[in-house]
């Protein structure tokens, strides 16, 4: 196998983790010479009192001209444009983003517009469009899953065209990530499970796909191990502060892993399901992860086999014959999803057809699957998949994930 002459590995974010990490925000911003941050969050975070915890930790050391909590779960370019206007009107000079992936990605989008003095966010899509550092951004994640606090990407919806737009640049990395277990303490069990499985998918795809490297592998393996050890105990005991911190650290490590190794098929399909059917991203990741591994089994069986060790532990790994380890790793993920389904009173679905909206109706219809497959084919994540993908491949995987049945491996092309 050809080995590159060197690996480029990026982790330029100042990470502060611990039970009182929030108290470091004023000194981090003061070091940048800014004292008027805008706080961006959503109504759920604000309603849970988490924004109050942040402002109390900041105290009177900073002036906060605006606290905006109108960011929806599936934020889009219109929201970004509106918030950039508030930032300018109030004379802000930094952003503190308090929330999950939608809030953090929205904050990155706002930071592009205010730093570039621009009005058209779409002018900065893709990779490499940003040419200079942005204004200071502090990320305070409230879900242990997205890893957006340490990634150089943002995914922002364009609802008018039913698509999600990717932005990628080293300059999108937040200046600091504040990993404080108080921020995830109020998450209900089914959101705890979905967001943790989002991190699991980041780590697993980073480890098994084309751009993997030894440094990303180390972060991915540790993230998987922490999720394995702490997710079910935290669901059983939501006040488990040690476990909450472990899951938050796992999400950050998985974010570092996939920011350097990228993701592939699972995320391409997940982005499409999310944009078309408005399904939470972590739910998509949990369901689709074993199917992406099955599809790529013939290409990266050895990598999937290695994952049985952090997934199931050394005893299971040692007693599983080498030829069976890859399939055992895939089955472990499926079994883990079933355990999460039981632990969350069936609010953690295990197939696409079982995802139910707030009105009790199915979110993903079988008739949606062709559109999901077509949209996924245009997602940048497909370029990092070990096997080439076409419409029929993506539709086949989507159909199996909708039914909740394993893939027919005899139908998978082997390029």
Sequential DSSP letters for 187-231? --HHHHHHHHHHHHHHHHHHHHSTT--HHHHHHHHHHHHHHHHHH
Which of 183, 201, 227 lies at the terminal end of a domain, its last residue? 183
Closest CA to 280 of 289, 268, 271: 271
Ranges in the chain, pLDDT < 50 = 1-3, 5-9
DSSP state of 183: G
CA distance 100 to 194: 12
Q: How many domains does the chain contain in total? A: 2
Same domain, 148 and 19: yes
Q: Is residue 6 part of a domain?
A: no
CA distance 236 to 232: 6
Same domain, 281 and 363: yes
Helix/strand/coil for 59: coil
Q: What is the pLDDT of residue 11?
A: 60
The sheet carrying 126-127 orders its strands as 126-127, 163-168, 153-158
Distances (CA, A) of 298 to 1, 87, 252, 288: 17, 50, 30, 18
Q: CB of 361 within 8 A of CB of 278?
A: no
Q: Which residue has the tokens 């399901």?
A: 273
Same domain, 87 and 206: no
C-alpha 158: how far from chain center: 18
Q: Which residue has the tokens 């999600």?
A: 164
Same domain, 207 and 153: no
Which pLDDT tens digit goes with each residue over 60-106?
889 999 999 999 887 889 999 999 999 999 999 999 999 998 999 99
Same domain, 201 and 238: yes
Q: CB of 200 within 8 A of CB of 160?
A: no
Q: What is the pLDDT of residue 5?
A: 46
Q: What is the pLDDT of residue 2?
A: 47
Q: What is the pLDDT of residue 10?
A: 53
Q: What is the pLDDT of residue 73?
A: 81
Q: What is the pLDDT of residue 6?
A: 43
Which of 148, 183, 218 lies at the terminal end of a domain, its last residue? 183
Same domain, 252 and 311: yes
- Domain coverage including residue 54: 14-183
DSSP state of 154: E
Q: Is residue 8 part of a domain?
A: no
C-alpha 245: how far from chain center: 17
DSSP state of 264: -
Q: Is residue 330 part of a domain?
A: yes
Give the number of residues written for the chain.
Answer: 415
Which pLDDT tens digit goes with each residue over 352-373?
999 999 899 999 999 999 999 9
């Amino acid at each position: 196998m050809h080995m590159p002459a060197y690996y480029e590995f990026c982790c330029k974010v100042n990470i502060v983790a611990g039970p009182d990490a929030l108290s470091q925000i004023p000194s981090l911003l003061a070091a940048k010479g800014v004292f008027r941050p805008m706080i961006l969050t959503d109504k759920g975070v604000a309603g849970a009192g988490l924004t109050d915890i942040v402002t109390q930790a900041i105290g009177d050391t900073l002036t906060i001209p605006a606290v905006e909590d109108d960011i929806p779960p599936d934020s889009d370019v219109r929201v970004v444009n509106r918030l950039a206007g508030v930032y300018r009107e109030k004379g802000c000079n930094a952003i503190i983003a308090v929330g999950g992936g939608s809030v953090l990605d929205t904050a990155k989008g706002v930071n592009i517009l205010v730093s570039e003095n621009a009005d058209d966010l779409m002018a900065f899509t893709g990779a490499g469009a940003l040419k200079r550092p942005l204004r200071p951004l502090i990320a305070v994640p409230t879900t242990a899953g997205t890893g957006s606090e340490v990634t150089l990407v943002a995914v922002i919806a364009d609802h008018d065209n039913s698509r999600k737009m990717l932005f990628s640049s080293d300059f999108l990395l937040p200046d600091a990530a504040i990993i404080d277990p108080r921020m995830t303490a109020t998450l209900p069990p089914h959101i705890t499970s979905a967001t943790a499985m989002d991190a699991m998918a980041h780590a697993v795809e980073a480890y098994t796909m084309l751009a993997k490297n030894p440094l990303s592998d180390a972060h991915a393996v540790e993230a998987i191990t922490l999720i394995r050890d702490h997710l079910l105990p935290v669901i059983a005991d939501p006040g488990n502060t040690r476990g909450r911190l472990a899951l938050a650290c796992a999400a950050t490590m998985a974010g570092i892993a996939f920011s350097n190794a990228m993701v592939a098929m699972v995320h391409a399909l997940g982005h499409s399901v999310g944009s078309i059917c408005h399904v939470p991203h972590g739910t998509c990741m949990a369901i689709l992860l074993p199917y992406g591994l099955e599809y790529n089994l013939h290409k990266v069986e050895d990598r999937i086999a290695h994952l049985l060790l952090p997934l199931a532990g050394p005893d299971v790994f040692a007693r599983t014959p080498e030829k069976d380890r890859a399939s055992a790793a895939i089955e472990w993920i499926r079994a883990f999803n079933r355990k999460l389904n039981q632990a969350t009173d069936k609010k953690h679905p295990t197939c696409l057809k079982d995802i139910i909206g707030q009105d009790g109706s199915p979110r993903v219809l079988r008739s949606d699957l062709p559109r999901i497959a077509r949209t996924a084919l245009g997602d940048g994540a497909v370029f990092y998949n070990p096997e080439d993908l076409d419409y029929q491949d993506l539709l086949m995987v989507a159909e199996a994930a909708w039914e909740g049945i394993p893939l027919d491996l005899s139908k998978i092309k082997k390029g």
